[in-house]
Amino acid sequence: MRLEKSLPREGKPIMTLSESASFDQAVRVLDSFQIEVPSWGFANTGTRFGKFVQAAAAFTIEEKFADAAEVNRLTGATPTLALHVLWDLPNGLDDVPEVSLLELRFGIRAGSINPNLFQEQEYKFGSLCNPSQEIRQRAVRHVLDSIEIAKRLGSRDLSLWLPDGSNYPGTQSIRKRIGWLEEALCEVHGHLLPDQRLPSEYKPFEPAFYHTDIADWGMSSHLARVAGPRARVLVDTGHHYSSQNIEQIVAWLLHTGLLGGFHFNDRRYADDDLTLGSIDPYQVFRIFHEIHSGQAVNGELEIAFMIDQSHNLKGKIEATVQTVVTAQELWLKAALIDREQLAVYQESCDLVAAEELFRGAFWRDVRPLVAAWRQQRGLPADPLAALKDSGYVERIGIERAGRVTMVNSYA
Ligand code: RM4
Ligand code: MN
Ligand code: MN
């Protein structure tokens, strides 16, 4: 059903009673759904084989803010921009005033602050887990500088990802490195403000290919407990082995109170950073169901939804809008599961009825509901079409073309 067909002349959707109850619920669900976009999602990124440069890709922090504002204008769901310290604030604290001005100018707030512990030559054998105390201290200092940046920008989350690990058996002491990591995280945690948090990603491999110091959610959970009460686990959906049950991990992290947030993306093979839901939308739905179930029990949950994608072939802004729209649809589908009825079927072990109810919610077409919500909120009913009509991508493609673009770094 296309929305326009269900609208009479004066623009009010014609709905049955149950549709209008769903719409009221949809308004609540979509009003409270926000997802953070990454600054690096607008930049030229590539694989280790090279980059295909796009004329419209953002290069400066100003351009990244402009693109984030365009996505927020179209979707109404992305008020914050994740920043990567060395890419976006190469001069550290000295760049904070410029970022603050950009926040005001574009109506987009700085979101999570991501220290960079993988770019410098010193980190060849690790950052917070490096056998050299001097290098570990240097890495800690960078994280502390990043916390200071987060404080000045009013950012809640200092989001950690380590490249640390080793490539060959016997070349590093796995156990000593656990101890160094515990020490570093405790020190860093001590510098957080009471309302700041320290979520840490885990990842089974890449760039290290034998052992990775924070390889899975068990290790990340342990470290969060040791580091302190504001440390959390960050689930990047691409950081799992194939066929791993991510929603079960999410359920455990909710149960243990350690779930800090997500980096959403999709994958087919490894950490592919593809568009959310492009390969397996059912998995995202299942993850969202666990979160809705968790929120039904505890309304106070603080979970950061973020996108961590690298659009190498697609247009960056189109892909980001597409991601946000997909996230909204899947979030709403999962919210509309009749959880009370599902619980009845689960308790009576009525397997087929339970599965059909669950699966049925996934197959429900919620696009007309999301479009109606957008119209009510003064947003374009079809954000991708509105992006096309706006000419934004062509305009920035012309403005940004021709300048010298660095093509030798990841972002
Ligand atoms: C990692 C991880 C981090 C990201 C880096 C560049 O795989 O997903 O979130 O910052 O890549
Ligand atoms: Mn990530
Ligand atoms: Mn990743």
Ligand 1, from 113, 143, 263: best to mutate by most atoms within 8 Å of Cβ? 263
Instruction: Measure the CA–CA gap between 59 and 39, rounded to whole angstroms.
Output: 10
Query: What confidence tens digit (pLDDT) does each residue in 34-47 have?
Result: 999 999 999 998 88
Q: Give the nearest ligand 1 atom to 410 CA.
A: 6
pLDDT < 70: residue spans in the chain: 1-14, 404-411
Cβ contacts of 140-146, under 8 Å, gap ≥ 24:
140/184, 140/187, 140/188, 142/85, 142/115, 142/116, 142/117, 143/115, 143/117, 143/184, 143/188, 144/188, 144/191, 145/85, 145/92, 145/93, 145/115, 146/85, 146/113, 146/114, 146/115
Ligand 1, from 201, 271, 311: best to mutate by most atoms within 8 Å of Cβ? 201
- The single residue listed with the structure tokens 């969202």 is 288
**Minimal CA–CA distance to 335: which of 382, 293, 381?**
293
Number of H helices, E strands in the chain: 15, 11
pLDDT of amino acid 305: 98
Contact 331, 33 (CB under 8 A): yes
Instruction: Measure the CA–CA gap between 211 and 227, rounded to whole angstroms.
Output: 22
Identity of the residue numbered 54: Q
Q: Give the nearest ligand 1 atom to 114 CA.
A: 10
Instruction: Measure the CA–CA gap between 307 and 282, rounded to whole angstroms.
Output: 17
Give the Å distance between the CA of 161 and the centre of ligand 3. Answer: 9
Neighbours of ion ligand 2 (CB under 5 A): 236, 263, 308
Give the Å distance between the CA of 263 and the centre of ligand 2. Answer: 5
**Minimal CA–CA distance to 315: which of 394, 382, 248?**
394
Instruction: Measure the CA–CA gap between 306 and 304, rounded to whole angstroms.
Output: 6
Ligand 1, atom 5, lies closest to the CA of: 161
Sequence-separated (6 or more) residues with CB below 8 Å from residue 360? none
Q: Answer yes or no: is the C-beta of 36 below 6 A from any ligand 1 atom.
A: no
Give the Å distance between the CA of 308 and the centre of ligand 2. Answer: 5
Instruction: Measure the CA–CA gap between 65 and 68, rounded to whole angstroms.
Output: 5
pLDDT of amino acid 406: 56
Neighbours of ion ligand 3 (CB under 5 A): 271
Ligand 1, atom 1, lies closest to the CA of: 161
